[in-house]
Amino acid sequence: MTRRFSLAVAVFLVVFGATGLTCAQYETLDNWYFLYLEGGIGTPKSTDQIVGIALDPALGGGIQTSTLIQPDWSSSPVFRIGGGYRWSGGSRITLSYWQFDDEQGVTADGPGLGNLVYTIGPFLDTGAGFNNMGNPGHADFNTGITAQTVDFAWGRQKMMSDYFDVEWSLGLRYAHFEETISGFYDDDVSTGLNFGDVRWGAYKFNESEMIGARAAVRCTYFLTDRIAGTGSIGFSMLEGEVSSVSSFWDADAGGRPAASAAETDDNRSGRIQDLDVGLMLFFMDDMLRIKLGYESSFWDGVPSDLVRNANGSAANLRDRDDLSFSAYTLGVYFEF
């Protein structure tokens, strides 16, 4: 599926109910519309996008060593945008959108001795043995991750003291995840079916769409009339479909083993846990607020890789059913 949400839209942080006024004063304010934007620098964690394994032989009775070849994700942009309506009694409705979308490359040579074992694409005898790229072998790949959420929620604020309030919210969440891994292996083989350098193409694509319920709570403590600390946690229970496909083929079309492919999809459950903390500053009679913060989101079951060990493998990998996103963010919140 194409990236339906690949608009590089700005992102927001849901700054529920934080003002420079006391909580008691806050509940007497007029009704307001509000908008918020947030952007930041984030990193996906625990992606386990392993594209190859370099196996060094055990020489002289030593221990065979293996090195996993995978991208080292650097900081990438994240965005959030949202808006809604707040009533004077403290209730509000909110619609929001969050996105991460970036790519990372990885390239590596296999060992001088031993073998480079390929891990993208189904089980196939390349002529150097099943899943082997011969010696030394070479891997060159580009990996991409796109993740989006859309939330619709109704929330209500409860003042606990003059300077501390809690807001809870209930609503719906839609989550979409895409992962693409594409590239090639160069096979240096001088035995079996092949002779000399051979290039093999490899591709993997994972996608999921889920929808379900989300509950969240935010706490805000007013340090001064212009500064407040805030933090929230959220939990989503989701249901939807996960699909995966992988393929491996002779890119040189040299009459070597036929291309191989694996494809599957499954209805699954997933969950997302969100956490954010930050410091808010208030301007323009508290109509404008700036937030500096940190956020983390743990996705479980949504980013599953269903063809990770398709048709067997010479080097089985552990299952990859979860990953996380974390980011340092700067947000702007405006009421009108």
Which residues contact residue 268 at a Cβ distance below 8 angstroms, ignoring those fewer than 6 apart? Answer: 208, 210, 239, 240, 241, 242, 301, 304
> 19-28, 107-116, 248-257 — which is least confidently predicted?
19-28
For the chain, domains (ranges, CATH) are 23-335 (2.40.128.100)
Higher pLDDT, 144 or 262: 144
Lowest mean pLDDT among 103-107, 118-122, 255-259, 261-265: 255-259
CA distance 97 to 81: 5
> What is the average pLDDT value for the chain, to the nearest integer?
82
Among 90, 94, 66, which residue's Cα sits nearest to residue 81? 94
pLDDT at 175: 98
Q: What is the pLDDT of residues 152-177, one digit of tens each?
A: 999 998 888 888 999 999 999 999 99
Distance of CA 110 to the CA centre of its chain: 29
Residue with tokens 């964690």: 45
What pLDDT, on a 0 to 100 scale, did the predictor assign at position 39? 96
| Confidence at 27, pLDDT banded by 50, 70, 90 | very low
Please say if the pLDDT value at position 258 is more than 80. Answer: no
pLDDT of residue 250: 80
CB 13 within 8 A of CB 276: yes
Comparing 286 with 6, the larger pLDDT belongs to 286
Judged against a pLDDT cut of 70, whether residue 334 lies above it is answered with yes
**Could you give the CA distance from residue 285 to residue 20 in angstroms, rounded to a whole number?**
8
Q: Are 80 and 98 in contact (CB under 8 A)?
A: yes
DSSP state of 335: E
Pairing of strands 115-118, 288-300: unpaired
64-73, 148-157, 187-196: which is most confident:
148-157
pLDDT at 62: 61
Task: Average the pLDDT over each of 35-49, 103-117, 284-298 and give the range with the smallest value.
Answer: 103-117
Is the pLDDT at 271 greater than 50, yes or no? yes
Minimum mean pLDDT among 9-23, 55-69, 227-241, 314-328: which range? 9-23
d(CA 238, CA 215): 12
Residue 18 has pLDDT above 50, yes or no: no
Q: How confident is the model at residue 63 (pLDDT cuts 50, 70, 90)?
A: low
Write out the DSSP string of 114-155: SEEEE-SS---B-SSSBTB-BSS-EEEEEEEEEEEEEEEEEE
